[in-house]
Structure 1
Amino acid sequence: MALCDKQKQRIDELSGIISQKETEIQLAKEKINELNAKCDNMLTARVVSVNDGDLKSARTRLSKLVREVDKCIALLNE
């Protein structure tokens, strides 16, 4: 009986640890999404403030962003 109680206690401990780790994973995913958004914003800002030498790559990035926005709008309209 004591072994059964120990096992139940261990299961409870492990369940708590799993719950804590899942929370940490969720927070990490949110942080990753936040950092990706910041990165996209920085790239967008870079597109707006380009030098003459970077004009072609800036146009390419801007076109990509426009296509991405168009896709999002299309998804919202569905």
Structure 2
Amino acid sequence: MTDENNKLLIDLEVRIKQLLFFCDSLKDENERLKSEIKLRQEQIDEAKNDLKVLKTKYDSLKTVRTITAASVDVDTAKLKLSKLVREVDKCINLLK
């Protein structure tokens, strides 16, 4: 072989080694990213479960609040409704 062919062969070997190194680094990065995706998915699943629990608690609190408000504030609600009816009657009289 000639010197030029040897240089080309050496250059080719160097480039192949660079490509192999680059391929290995991409494989490592790919594994790291897959691991990160798995971690993020686990965090999302945990957050969804927390959200489900919180929604259940919130619905329970709304129910309790409704029951409590219904039993305690019946008189207050009647007074507010009476006041509202009087205001509507005044408006109707003004329109006549």
Q: TM-score, normalization: structure 1?
A: 0.66
1:5 maps to what in 2? 24
Distance in 1 of aligned mates of 2:22 and 2:54: 47
Runs of 4+ in 1 over 3 A off after TM superposition: none
Q: TM-score, normalization: structure 2?
A: 0.54
Q: Residues 39 and 25 from structure 1, CA distance in 2 versus in 1: closer, same or farther, beyond 3 angstroms?
A: same
1:29 counterpart = 2:48: yes
**36, 48, 51: which one aligns with 2:67:** 48
Give the length in aligned residue pairs. 55
Larger RCO (alpha carbons 8 Å, 6+ apart): 1
Indicate the RMSD between aligned Cα atoms, in angstroms.
1.4
Structure 2: where are the runs of 5+ without partners? 1-19, 79-96
Distance in 1 of aligned mates of 2:49 and 2:77: 32
3-state DSSP of counterpart to 2:56: helix
What one-letter code is carried by the residue in structure 2 that aligns with 1:16?
A: S
1:66 maps to what in 2? none
1:20 counterpart = 2:21: no
CA offset at residue 54 of structure 1?
A: 5.0
Distance in 2 of aligned mates of 1:40 and 1:17: 34
Higher Cα radius of gyration: 2
